[in-house]
A and B are shown apart, each in its own frame.
Chain A
Amino acid sequence: MHLEDLAEQAAQYRNEDAHIEREVRVCVAASCQSSGSLPVLEALKSACDTQGAGSCKVKGVGCMGLCSAGPLVAVADKDCALNESVLYRDVTPDDAPDIMASVCSTPVERLRCPTDQPFFSRQQRIVLEHSGLIDPDSLRGYIAVGGYAALVRALTEMTPADVLREVTTSGLRGRGGGGYPTGLKWSTIAKMPPGQKYVVCNADEGDPGAFMDRAVLESDPHRVLEGMAIAAYAVGASKGYVYVRAEYPLAVERLETAIRKAKRAGFLGAKVADTQFAFEVEIRLGAGAFVCGEETALMASIEGLRGQPRPRPPYPAESGLWGCPTLINNVETFANIAPIIREGGDWFAAIGTEGSKGTKVFALAGKIKNTGLIEVPMGTSLRDIIEVIGGGIPDGRAFKAVQTGGPSGGCIPEAHLDIPVDYDSLKTLGTIMGSGGLIVMDETSCMVDVARFFMEFCMSESCGKCIPCRAGTWQMHALLDTLTKGRGTRADLALLEDLCDVVRATSLCGLGQTAPNPVLSTLRYFRDEYEAKLLGDA
């Protein structure tokens, strides 16, 4: 297949839809579905039939971001972006006739959700560029917006070394938490002797409060497959796995559909796009153990063993699945690949900050007005994200802290809100970017409680293989519990700090090594809250 053929196909698909002038897009990602978007979709479809809007199409699309206002429905001219559409919030099936009637006339004011607010205008969508615009189950829809062109271009016009160069130039760093340079990881695997190699997409997403990867898989699954195929071509792999947690049934279903359709259309399988490159993808379901997101545990789980980490080195790049070189990247990392190949590494490198290129998807949760999914350039300040894009704290309360990086991360107080969000700045504050969960807390939150919550999570998610994590998190949780109840002594606090040091330094894998972080960071910024809860020294 030549790039021209694909472009022709895309043009043809667009042509077939030429009679459609306006689209009614209903979010069918998990959050809107849980607030009832499927009946809304049905109602709109039948209203469309009876009201006979021939030039209008009702379709299900992926996440539009403002999940707290769901079910969301957007009415727009075809090909118009989300912020150019008329957006309706909290839509019910009863609203369908009104919405259909408004398609070619004035909008229904009572349902409107303004799209000129910063929540929409301040975002820059690369990973989510198709999210909320295309039907996730439609391969045609994906091709019509230029999908798979990056893959075909890589296969027909670029050598694996060219692809590696673009990805390296882009400066993309892994979005799964560690922030390891993606180009460097790919090159390492590409340099391993030829033979069986694997590509794995990590869609385990176990952090509490995080749903970025789920949204990407539910909204634009082909995008992830395309990124994996390009990676496989670059490193010389012929087999890929997507490791998804079974709690994401909708993501799994959409991914299955996407794999089936991509295979039938020749974008996966024995001769990808009629070239000599072969790439098969399979889904592996995880049972939802947090530790199975750790790469060595993930590989053990794919191999059918107990999902338990092993010491590294050897790293997966050298000895991964069944002892073969294996590339593991996060969903969002793979979703960045197609635009990098399409627009070039330099284009991507121009976005973001010196050490952190591109954009980052964040899941806003907690005490914040606009909860949901956003994508902003790296380097955007936390204050912008929370006060401007997120709309600030509801109910007139005051901001207290924002937690980033989930159970491996930490809390940032008001005084540091102006820090640009990037991998290195967050580290200087004693927290991490992590996979992109942002939990906002207001003045009513007790920071010792927050630390206890995360410690409880780590304690129950510890795999139990190594002693500092297994028994240490239990002890730390018990100490935090005593402290929150106001029964702790100064000696307990000292013991807690000592255990933080031991568990961090001696645990086998990232789970245990980072489990003390929420405690350490709350101690760093909110030590007075711990002290206030201590028993008198009497």
Chain B
Amino acid sequence: MPLPTPQPNVRVVTLRIDDRDLSAREDETLIEVCRENRIPIPSLCHLDGLSVWGGCRLCMVEIAGQGRLVAACSTRVAEGMTVQTDTERLRHYRRTIVELLFAERNHVCSVCVSNGHCELQSLAQRCGVDHVRLPYRQAPYPVDSSHEMFRLDHNRCILCTRCVRVCDEIEGAHTWDVMGRGSDCRVITDMARPWGESETCTSCGKCVQVCPTGALVKQGTSAGEMVKDQHFLPILARRRHAR
């Protein structure tokens, strides 16, 4: 993957992540440096090429000398920073966050078309979530199948807003948004009209490809079939950026 050419005034700093000395451009975020150096940081809302959201809180890391944890996706590197990405405490928090997500809506993987190709599912496996300690919320959510090519199942949505951001920032349609607050939040198309009646959607499918779960899928796929392809995103984002 080609990296953007460094800006003339950007300095390079050195920092220590998980006991490794690394160098980074000072305008980079911790998650970018970690990914470059193959240090795994779990994340669900972050996607290279989209704006920073900071909502899933899975990327949190410990910084020496700082009481608070910080989100790696929204924290810039600094000279001399010492970072731990995989402590016992962080593993416990990440595990709990994944459990909170599972208990919030319906994530019964065995009947999901994304089974086997889902970022939430594989994250749960990585975090060792083999059961959920929390009671399931069991709120019934609707499914919107009105679009001729795609389907939205709110029960599988984790509100990462990747769809909102890709449609707005890359496709330029701004079909998606979020309505409500707290646990009543849900993604909507246009002014909460059925997706099939949307006047802004170009049916480009970008939202479906970036959705980490089985919330956005192609119509007609059956369990285990829905493979997502996100390689277009950084390429498109960089081309636009270069222009």
One of B18-26, B54-62, B199-207, B229-237 at the interface: B54-62
**Contact string against A for B residues 82-106, beta-carbon threshold 8 Å, 1 for contact and 0 otherwise:** 0000000000110011001101100
One of B9-17, B146-154, B177-185, B214-222 at the interface: B177-185
Q: Which residue of B lies closest to A506 (CB)?
A: B57
Partner among A313, A463, A468, A498 whose Cβ is within 8 Å of the Cβ of B97: A468
- Complex contacts, B97 vs chain A, CB 8 Å: 467-468, 502, 506
CB–CB B181/A461 < 8 A: yes
Per the bound structure, the CA–CA distance linking A465 and B180 in Å amounts to 11
Per the bound structure, the CA–CA distance linking A468 and B92 in Å amounts to 13
Interface of A is mostly: helix
Per the bound structure, the CA–CA distance linking A19 and B159 in Å amounts to 68
Q: Which residue of A lies closest to B52 (CB)?
A: A311
- Complex contacts, A311 vs chain B, CB 8 Å: 52, 54, 71, 74-75
Query: Known: A311-B54, A467-B57. Contact between A505 and B69, CB under 8 A?
Result: yes
Instruction: List which A454-505 residues lie within 8 A (CB) of chain B.
Output: 459-468, 470-475, 478, 495, 498-499, 502, 505
Per the bound structure, the CA–CA distance linking A469 and B57 in Å amounts to 10
Check if B134 is an interface residue, CB within 8 A of chain A.
yes
Check if B240 is an interface residue, CB within 8 A of chain A.
no
Check if A190 is an interface residue, CB within 8 A of chain B.
no
**Contact string against B for A residues 36-57, beta-carbon threshold 8 Å, 1 for contact and 0 otherwise:** 0000000000000000000000
- Complex contacts, B103 vs chain A, CB 8 Å: 471, 475
Per the bound structure, the CA–CA distance linking A184 and B22 in Å amounts to 34
Check if B135 is an interface residue, CB within 8 A of chain A.
yes
Check if A78 is an interface residue, CB within 8 A of chain B.
no
Q: Closest CB of chain B to A466's CB: distance in Å?
A: 5
CB–CB B69/A506 < 8 A: yes
CB–CB A507/B181 < 8 A: no
- Complex contacts, A505 vs chain B, CB 8 Å: 60, 68-69, 93
Per the bound structure, the CA–CA distance linking A310 and B55 in Å amounts to 9
Q: Which residue of B lies closest to A460 (CB)?
A: B182
CB–CB B69/A462 < 8 A: no
Partner among A467, A506, A508 whose Cβ is within 8 Å of the Cβ of B101: A467
**Contact residues on B (Cβ < 8 Å of other chain), bracket:** 35 or more
Per the bound structure, the CA–CA distance linking A465 and B187 in Å amounts to 12
Q: Closest CB of chain B to A16's CB: distance in Å?
A: 52
CB–CB A467/B56 < 8 A: yes
Partner among A464, A498, A502 whose Cβ is within 8 Å of the Cβ of B181: A464
CB–CB A475/B57 < 8 A: no
CB–CB B182/A462 < 8 A: yes
**Contact string against A for B residues 125-146, beta-carbon threshold 8 Å, 1 for contact and 0 otherwise:** 0000000011101000000000
Query: Known: A466-B55, A467-B97. Contact between A495 and B104, CB under 8 A?
Result: no
CB–CB B93/A464 < 8 A: no
- Complex contacts, B137 vs chain A, CB 8 Å: 471, 474
Per the bound structure, the CA–CA distance linking A484 and B214 in Å amounts to 37
Q: Which residue of B lies closest to A505 (CB)?
A: B69
CB–CB B183/A464 < 8 A: yes
Per the bound structure, the CA–CA distance linking A507 and B69 in Å amounts to 10
Check if A520 is an interface residue, CB within 8 A of chain B.
no
Q: Closest CB of chain A to B25's CB: distance in Å?
A: 17
Check if A306 is an interface residue, CB within 8 A of chain B.
yes
- Complex contacts, B100 vs chain A, CB 8 Å: 467-468, 471-472, 475
* 14 examples of A-B residue contacts, CB within 8 angstroms: A459-B182, A460-B181, A461-B181, A463-B181, A466-B57, A467-B159, A470-B104, A470-B182, A471-B100, A473-B182, A475-B134, A499-B96, A505-B69, A506-B60
Counting from the closest, the 7 A-B pairs by CB-CB distance are A464-B185, A311-B74, A471-B100, A462-B182, A311-B54, A506-B57, A471-B104
